[in-house]
Amino acid sequence: MKERFPQGFMWGGATAANQVEGAWDEDGKGPSIVDAIPGGKARLSIVASPEFDFTIDSDRYTYPNHKGIDHYHRFREDIALFAEMGFKCYRFSIAWTRIYPTGVESEPNEAGLAHYDEVIDTCIAHGIAPVITLSHYEMPLHLATAFGGWKNRDVIGHFERYARTVLTRYGHKVKYWMTFNEINSAAHFPMMSQSLTVKTGALDPQAKYQAWHNQFVASSLAVKIAHETDPQIQMGCMILFATTYAYDCHPVNQLATLKETQAFNFYCADVQVGGKYPYYARRLWQSLGVTLDIQPGDMELIAAHRVDYIGFSYYMSTTLNKTDPKADAAQGNLLGGTRNPFLEASDWGWEIDPTGLRIALNQLYDRYQKPLFIVENGLGAVDKPDENFTINDDYRINYLRQHIEAMADALEDGVELMGYTPWGCIDLVSMSTGEMSKRYGFIYVDLDDTISGTGNRYKKKSFSWYQKVIASNGSDLR
């Protein structure tokens, strides 16, 4: 069979601390913003409501992230299953609040550090390279409530201390890192990645763009610390990429697509990879009434310490139609946009578009000429196990197969792609709906939306399929 993927290609899977670990208040961990976000389908609208202020109200809401899938206690079993699939790498995040429970302590919590020593060592013992996200949608709650989230410049110093602590502790054994998960998602939803509420500025472009600026400075500090710790370390950015189409060839739609692609897909990476604000930023800020507080030294730091690779998530494309106000909205698509008549959608309305991934890879490589790493991709679906917990998830296999084929095509186009870590390699709590029933995994976890159940792990059909994909280095996709 013809080899379409390079030797050393990093096949693996991805999770995030707040969606798998549980144990939200164990061993000295403090609450993070996600611990204060209710579960359920209404989750994002609750967070986006004017009164929301991160108060934990257990009488009114459920908080599935508090228990997650108990990966905190069961990580050895989970990582052994990943190893059985042949993972070359495992992308996970460190919960900042296990290391600095409120974010402002001067000394780290040793129990939290010891936990990730064990997780990392378990991966390495199985020949799996850890790929660590420093911040996956979960700043310490105290930094959100007392400081107002990332719009407050003081948060940079607290992040820097956290980044230094973990990079110094683990940098000699972990080569691949990322700074902020889906940093650009704030364009549409700043509650998770910037910890802003409506009360603290989520709807105010000034707050959002200032928060981004502070994150860019913090990201460059993390790159600096990483390279000083060990020049071998590769620090990536992480963006949410949604290939954006104009609905038709009307110039208005074409222009809107260009502008949205810049403002959403490229704005953050242009700074984190390019080391400066892009040419279109000034006009964008002006149109939104934004005046940034850029301190002396910020732009020099950003220019000097750029990321080594581009990590990105890709789930779907989005389509813009600005000329027809009655055009159907794409249901469930977090990014909004119009329904694309050429695409099928998932049970949650996310439009499935493998060709869009090939376009994404080409657009990113064309612009940045940096190695790319697909660190999230996958199909959220309802799985229906029979009485023996057999799950024939052919729909998931089909989705992944088509996206892997698109990756192979993009490699032949000439892009440089380091690896692929499908999202939620083990079932976990969904980010946008805080439920278990939206499943992505190769491994089924017997828990329902209230986190009731045995918690037992079962291999789905996709488990052995992915095992074969990895063993054949992407040649055998049957």
User: Closest distance between ligand BG6 and the C-beta of residue 426, in Å?
Assistant: 12
Tell me, residue by residue from 119 to 138, as one string, x for binding to ligand BG6 by CB under 6 A and - for no binding: ------------------x-
| Catalytically annotated residue among 182, 260, 351, 435 | 182
Q: Residue from 181, 193, 321, 473 that binds ligand BG6 (CB under 6 A)?
A: 181
Nearer Cβ to ligand BG6 (270/376): 376
Q: 21, 138, 260, 376: which is the annotated catalytic residue? A: 376
Residue of the chain from 156, 431, 443, 445 that contacts ligand BG6 (CB under 6 A): 431
Count the Cβ atoms, other than its own, within 10 Å of residue 176. 22
| Candidate ranges 20-28, 245-253, 424-432, 448-456; the one touching ligand BG6 (CB under 6 A) | 424-432
Q: In terms of CB distance, is 351 or 376 closer to ligand BG6?
A: 376
Which of the stretches 59-67, 124-132, 388-396, 431-439 binds ligand BG6 when contact is defined by CB under 6 A?
431-439
Q: Return d(Cα 98, Cα 101) in angstroms, integer.
A: 6
Q: In this structure, are residues 376 and 93 in contact, taking their beta carbons and an 8 Å threshold?
A: no
Query: Taking CB under 6 A as the rule, does residue 261 contact ligand BG6?
Result: no
Could you tell me the smallest distance in angstroms from the CB atom of residue 251 to ligand BG6? 32
User: Considering CB under 6 A, how many residues would be counted as binding ligand BG6?
Assistant: 15
Q: Which residue in the set 193, 244, 430, 473 belongs to the binding site for ligand BG6 (CB under 6 A)?
A: 430
Q: What is the 3-state secondary structure (H, E, C) of the chain?
A: CCCCCCCCCEEEEECCHHHHCCCCCCCCCCCEHHHHCCCCCCHHHHHCCCCCCCCCCCCCCCCHHHCCCCHHHHHHHHHHHHHHHCCCEEEEECCHHHHCCCCCCCCCCHHHHHHHHHHHHHHHHCCCEEEEEEECCCCEHHHHHCCCHHHCCHHHHHHHHHHHHHHHHHCCCCCEEEEECCHHHHHCCHHHHCCCCCCCCCCCHHHHHHHHHHHHHHHHHHHHHHHHHCCCCEEEEEEECCCEEECCCCHHHHHHHHHHHHHHHHHHHHHHHHCCCCCCHHHHHHHHCCCCCCCCCHHHHHHHCCCCEEEEECCCCEEECCCCCCCCECCCCCCCCECCCCCCECCCCCECCHHHHHHHHHHHHHHHCCCEEEEECCCCECCCCCCCCCCCCHHHHHHHHHHHHHHHHHHHHCCCEEEECCECCECCCCCCCCCCCCECCCEEECCCCCCCCCCCEEECHHHHHHHHHHHCCCCCCC
Piece of 78-86, 302-310, 365-373, 432-440 that binds ligand BG6 (CB under 6 A): 432-440
Return the number of the residue (5 or 52) whose C-beta is nearest ligand BG6. 52
Does 376 engage in binding with ligand BG6 (CB under 6 A)?
yes
Query: Which residue, 45 or 464, is less far from ligand BG6 as judged by CB?
Result: 45
Q: C-beta of 351: minimal distance to ligand BG6 in Å?
A: 14
- Regarding 184 and contact with ligand BG6 (CB under 6 A), the answer is no
Whose Cβ is closer to ligand BG6: residue 54's or residue 241's?
Answer: 241
Is residue 182 part of the annotated active site? The answer reads yes
Is 412 marked active-site? no
CB of 440 to ligand BG6, least distance (A): 7
User: 115, 169, 396, 438: which one contacts ligand BG6 (CB under 6 A)?
Assistant: 438
Residue 436 binds ligand BG6, judged by CB under 6 A = no
- Residue 200 binding ligand BG6, by CB under 6 A: no
- Rounded to the nearest whole angstrom, what is the least distance from the CB of residue 16 to ligand BG6 in the complex? 5
The residues annotated with a catalytic role in the active site are 182, 376
Binding site for ligand BG6 (CB under 6 A): 16, 19, 137, 181-182, 240, 313, 376, 380, 423, 430-433, 438
